[in-house]
Amino acid sequence: MNARKCEKDQRNSELKVRKAIENDNKDVARVYAEIAVRKRREHLMYLRLATYLDANLSRLDANLYLLDIQANCKLVGSIVESLDSAVAVGDLQKMLETINKLENQFVDMKVDQVSPSTAEVSSLMQQSIGQIQTAVHAIPMKDKIKKVDEDDLTRRFAELKSRAATRI
């Protein structure tokens, strides 16, 4: 938002420079030009800062996702250890309980982080439908052009035939 505000201020300052030059007031124009240059630099600084923050946020998200996977792996590891002890003892009931825990753990893992939201999917589908409708409406136009060209060729061919017939 700050970048957009600086860009707007820059444009306003540039307009003021033009007006000051039109009024033959070069000192005021110079001041507004300096302000415009300063706002342009500030705009670029905000864009760099936003890019830097986005990159770091992406890294943090990736690290959190990896930590979540690591926690799930530790939990799965503890379940596997309990399954090993149940197999060593030969306790069928304990084995079934441990296997159920393992299955529930895989079901509970967060897969939502990679799946797109329904709003994104709906938006993309609406865009695709719009593009398809545009393409469908464009196709009959091409067919009409081809038909006109074919009719034109047929007419020309008929004229050539009649000219050839009159010459013979």
Tokens (6 digits) for 128: 């695709």
Please tell me the pTM assigned to this model. Answer: 0.41
**CA separation for the pair 1, 10 (Å, rounded):** 14
pLDDT in tens, the chain (168 residues): 888 888 899 899 889 888 888 888 888 888 888 988 998 899 888 888 888 888 888 888 887 777 777 777 777 777 778 777 877 887 778 878 877 777 777 666 655 445 556 676 667 677 767 666 665 565 555 555 555 566 777 787 788 778 777 766
**CA separation for the pair 33, 1 (Å, rounded):** 23
Output the pLDDT for position 107. Answer: 65
Three-state SS for 35-84 is: HHHHHHHHHHHHHHHHHHHHHHHHHHHHHHHHHHHHHHHHHHHHHHHHHH
